[in-house]
Amino acid sequence: MAKKEVQFSLVYRDMWQSSGRYVPRRDQLAKVAPVIIDMGCFDRVETNGGASEQVNLLYGENPNLAVRTFCKPFNEAGIKTHMLDRGLNALRMNPVPADVRQLMYKVKHAQGTNITRIFCGLNDPRNIIPSIKWAKAAGMTAQATMCITYSKVHTREYYINLAEQLIEAGAEEICLKDMAGVGRPAMLGDIVRAIKTQHPDIIIQYHGHTGPGFSVASMLEVAKAGGDVLDVAMEPLSWGKVHPDVITIQAMLRDAGFLVKDINMKAYMEARSLTQSFIDDFLGYWIDPKNALMTSLLVGCGLPGGMMGSLMADLKGMHAAINANLKKKGEPELSEDELLVQLFDEVQRIWPMLGTPCLVTPFSQYVKNAALMNLFSRSMGEKDFTRMDPAMWGMILGKSGKLPGELAPEIIELAKEKGYEFYTDDPQKLYPDVLPQYIKEMEELGWDRGQDDEELFEFAMHDKQYREYKSGLAKEQFNKDLLERMEKAARGGQQVTFISAADKRAILHPTSEPVEATQAGTVLWELDFNEASQAPAFGKLFRQGDLVCYLQTQHGIEPLYASFDSRLVAVDKQQGDKATKGDAICWLEKAEIPAEKKAKSQEPKAKAADKKPAAAKKSAWKDSMNVIKAEKK
């Protein structure tokens, strides 16, 4: 009898998202992809989806280019690529209009993503089935996903019945998404066996985080029950709250009699080294060291590994506030570990009260936030559930879909007290189509809709983040955050190279050029010096040859011009600040200036280019100012 083959999928995207906030840049993904291929053991790679494309925007990178770059070498090598798809929420935390969801599959298929893993944290088929149909129509493989957790509601029968509904609706594959790793191995084996008995040709893929420690045993049980593909990670980001390492799983399955591919260990070590270099470059500044640790505390609360980074950040922010309240009341303060245990216990207590949603994005965040705010409210002497936000209430009221369990009577009563109404219809109906309005705005702004409408999709999916990316504000904010984290690490004694002024420039403005002081002097953004005088706003456009600012020197006033079409992205010197020769006064980034704006200002641009620094040769302030003012007129 031939050995049963089990394939491996490297969840390279989820490795990063379960460890910290960001994913590698486009150039880094281009470096590591060929090495992952050389490892020879992967039939699939998770390349995009979930929050990864949103965080691309947050650090100022175009996610569409990143997805195309990462998918291309795998497509050429015959390795299937897959993405994480949040169903009704698509690639964000809140519901998405149907026309944007439908466009997503056309865009992602064109970009090289083969399989979409469609999930809903409520396991509501109404949020999954439309995506199955849209994905298949666009040429993608529709992998319907069941979010795995362990509760009185989420039984073997519950999942077997759900799988039947999804397969009947056209799902070509089924994924068991064990996002917290709390699925019990025997139960998972029973579910897979039941599906394979009825549907032997349906491919089953298992995704299990290692946080509470079940996932290795779960993978063996899934394989024995007929599972086809297992999601694995690799060092330095395997284990902890992430996923098991491919080396361990390959050895276990081979010993158990399964057919698995060999691992090219030279390539593994090279990919490991590259991944570590990305951590050392900048990604490590957002990785909490505790995410590298497993903990059995997750068995009870069922929180997913993928959100532990944000949880620890939230906990740190709330820790001081809760202790301040406790101190006022004369009660003992809590250590961070004590607060963490209290939070896990509170999640476990309120989870069934809130309808037992699967603790996966965004519902894991909602339940965690409600638990954390309960702890804060108690420290203030307030009642539980007094600080729930609108998104949390949206889940409770049914606006995200049908909850798997029943709400506690006190939650229903609280909703009635607030005058809220429960919703039982299809949640998609609450979110009307929006693409026409985004198309109109892009036309008005002169923005290109992009290859295969990918820029239109990105704008409609991540409105706020896309605007900040286009303006350059996202990159500026990211670079400032990075610099602060580097300096904090240096102060904390970590091995961080001394950050020189030149290094800061490179970090804060990597794609910009400085306007430098040509000699010592005082920076003047406006000649009419008064208290209200200030630098222009972030994003101001300058054509080549446009006047940027003045420098008052001992010889007079010297105008400084833009040397290329550009956008103002940062100001180092304000009105009246002193500058020495070579100091950066501001930073300009290359920018496209609309043709109509260029046409209207050809004459002023020519005049600016013809200006001579005659005023700089005059010694008297009054004469110099008169000359400059005359030129301005």
b (16+ CB within 10 A) / e for 177-209: bbbbbbbbbebbbbbbbbbbeeeeebbbbbbbb
Residue 452 is given by DSSP the state G
| Sign of CA pseudo-dihedral 134, 136, 140, 144 | positive
Least confident of 20-24, 33-37, 298-302, 556-560: 298-302
List the one residue out of 169, 144, 142, 147 whose CA is nearest residue 158: 147
pLDDT value of position 400: 95
Please list the residues that pair with 568 across neighbouring strands.
588
- Is 498 a residue whose pLDDT tops 80? no
When pLDDT is cut at 50, 70 and 90, the band that residue 499 belongs to is low
When pLDDT is cut at 50, 70 and 90, the band that residue 303 belongs to is confident
**What are the tens digits of pLDDT across the range 394-418?**
999 999 999 999 999 999 999 999 9
- Please answer whether residues 105 and 78 qualify as being in contact, where contact means their C-beta atoms are separated by less than 8 angstroms: no
When pLDDT is cut at 50, 70 and 90, the band that residue 624 belongs to is very low
When pLDDT is cut at 50, 70 and 90, the band that residue 82 belongs to is very high
Least confident of 317-326, 495-504, 544-553: 495-504
Read off the pTM: 0.80
pLDDT value of position 308: 62
**What are the tens digits of pLDDT across the range 96-110?**
999 999 999 999 999
Residue 582 is given by DSSP the state T
- Strand order across the 541-542 sheet: 512-516, 584-590, 566-571, 541-542
User: Class assignment of domain 511-632?
Assistant: mainly beta
When pLDDT is cut at 50, 70 and 90, the band that residue 598 belongs to is low
**What is the C-alpha separation between 21 and 33, in angstroms, rounded?**
21
The predicted model gives 100-122 an average pLDDT of 98
Question: Of 189-203, 313-327, 503-517, where does the model show the most confidence?
Answer: 189-203
Say which residue the tokens 């036309």 belong to: 443
Is 56 exposed, middle or buried (CB count within 10 Å of its CB: 0-12, 13-18, 19+)?
buried
**What are the tens digits of pLDDT across the range 254-281?**
999 999 999 999 999 999 999 999 999 8
* Preceding omega of 427 cis (within 30 degrees of 0): no
**What is the C-alpha separation between 619 and 580, in angstroms, rounded?**
19
pLDDT value of position 619: 36
| Sign of CA pseudo-dihedral 261, 266, 270, 275 | positive
Please state the domain extents for the chain: 434-471, 511-632
* Separation of CA 322 from chain center: 28
b (16+ CB within 10 A) / e for 370-382: bbbbbbbbbbeee
The predicted model gives 187-208 an average pLDDT of 98
Q: Does an H or E element contain 628, and which?
A: helix 621-632
pLDDT value of position 384: 92
575: how many CB neighbours lie within 10 A of its CB? 18
pLDDT value of position 533: 75
